[in-house]
Amino acid sequence: MALPKQNKRRIIFHIDMNCFYASVEMAYNPTLKGKPLAIAGNPEERRGVIVTSSYEARDKGVKTTMNVWQAKKLCPNLTVMKPNFDRYRAASKEMFKILSEVTPFVQPVSIDEGYMDVTETKNYGTPLELAEYLQKRILQELDLPCSIGIAPNKFLAKMASDMKKPLGITILRKRELDRTLWPLSVVEMYGVGEKTSEKLHAVGVKTIGDLAKADVYQLKQLFGINGERLRNRANGIDPRPVDPDAIYEFKSIGNSQTLAEDTTDINKIRRLMEYLADNVERRMKRKNAAGKSIQLMIRYHDRKTITRSKKLQYYVDSKSEILLIANELLQQHWNEEPIRLVGITVLDIEDKQYIGKQLDLFSYEKEASKEKLYGAIDTLTEKYGKNPFKQIYPSEQEQQPKTSFQKDFLDDYRK
C-alpha cells in the first residue's frame, strides 16, 4: 500500500478507546453502567491484580496493577470481573473495521488504540466533523466511548487524545504548543517514563517546554539518539508515517503472566513457564517465525523486575527448545524469593522463509522422525480446535491477566 506523500500538511487521528475492557463489559451487560467496575485476574483471590477499571472506580482511587483487596478497601461496592479476551478482541475488530471504512491508512498499535491518516479523506467535512462522526458511530454501533486526538503527526495526535477523557476530541496545532503542550510536566509526555523524567529533572528539565529548548548534546549524553528524538517530539516534530503494514513488523514474540499469588513453589512456576512457552510457540507458528535469543523476565513480590537472556547459535521455534533455555535461565538467575510474574520472550526474530533451518548430522534424524507426529497433531487440532495432546492447565492460569495483550490479531479487521 502506497503511503500518503509527506510533503503535504498531514492530518493524523489517534483513536483511544476509554477504559476499554470495562467499557466492553458494560456494553455487554448494561446493568453495570454507572457502577464502579474493575477487570482483574482471579477476582476471588486476595492477590488478584486490577487490569483496568471504570471511571467510577477510578474516582474512588482504584488503579491498574492494584491488588483486588486494596481496591475493595477503597471502594467496597466495587464489582470485579475476570477478563474476557475473546470479547475484547471481537470489539476491537469491529472498531477498526469502522475506522478502515473511512480510510485505508489505519495503523492499529494495540487492542484499544490506533492511528489514522485522513489527509486525503473527503466527503466527511472538516477534520473535526470527521472525528465527531467516528466517535458518534463507535458509540452508537458498539456502545463504546473513545477519545480522538487530531494533529499534524502521530506524537501530537497521541498527546491530544489523552487530554480529554472520556469522549473527548482535542486538536493540537504546532503553532500553539507554547500554551497547549509546553506548560505540562515532562513526565506527562508520551515516551517519558518515571526514570527518564528523574534524569531530566536532574538537569533542570521540568516541563515539556524545558525539553523543547534543552541542549541536544546534553540530551544525547543522557539518552543517546533517543535524547534528540525526545527533543524533536517536544517541538512537535515527528515524521513517522501512519503505516497499515507496521503490524507485520516484529522483532520479538513473548508472553508474560501474573501468578495467582506470590510463590516460591517451583512446580507452580514451571507449570506457568510451560504454559507461556506453549503460547509463544503457537504465536511463532502463526507468524511462521523463529528466533535466536531467549529472554526470561521475573518480577518478584516487591515488584523488582529482572530480565535475563541467552543468545543461541541457531534458530529455535518449538516449545521444548524455548522452555529448555528458559528453565536454564531460571535456574541461573532466580534468587529464590517469591515470584509474582514470569515472562518468556523469543528475540532476534526472523521470518522462516528468509532463514534455512540449521540441522546438524545428529539432530536431522530426530527432527525428521517428528514430522509425522507434527502432521497428525496439526490435523487433529484443525478438526477439534485444540491440540489434544497438550496438557490441560489449571483454570487459575486462564484467569490471570496477561501484562501485554497479544497483538497477533491486529489485522483481523481486514479479513
Distances, alpha carbon 20 to alpha carbons 79, 142, 145, in Å: 16, 12, 8
Helices (H) and strands (E) in the chain, counts: 15, 12
SS3 343: strand
Contact assessment for residue 153 and residue 236, using Cβ atoms and an 8 Å cutoff: yes
Pair 297, 306: CB distance under 8 Å: yes
Tell me which residue of 235, 219, 130, 129 sits closest to 182, measured CA to CA.
235
Is 113 designated active site?
yes
CA–CA separation, 116 and 212 (whole Å): 26
Is 245 annotated as belonging to a binding site? no
Q: Are 291 and 284 in contact (CB under 8 A)?
A: yes
Q: Are 191 and 162 in contact (CB under 8 A)?
A: no
> In the numeric block, which cell numbers belong to residue 298?
521475573
Per this entry, what is the length of the chain?
Answer: 415
Residue 106, amino acid:
V
**16 annotated ligand binder:** yes
- Contacts by residues 231-237 (CB-CB < 8 Å, ≥ 24 positions apart): 233/155, 233/189, 233/190, 233/191, 234/181, 234/182, 234/189, 234/208, 234/209, 235/177, 236/152, 236/153, 236/155, 236/156, 236/172, 236/174, 236/177, 236/181, 237/153
Q: Count CB atoms within 10 A of the CB of residue 376.
A: 11
Phi-psi region of 142 (alpha: psi -120 to 50; beta: other; left: phi over 0): alpha
Q: Which of 113, 274, 281, 321 is catalytic?
A: 113
Q: Residue positions in the annotated binding site for Mg(2+)? A: 16, 112
Active site residues: 113
Residue stretches of the annotated binding site: 16, 112
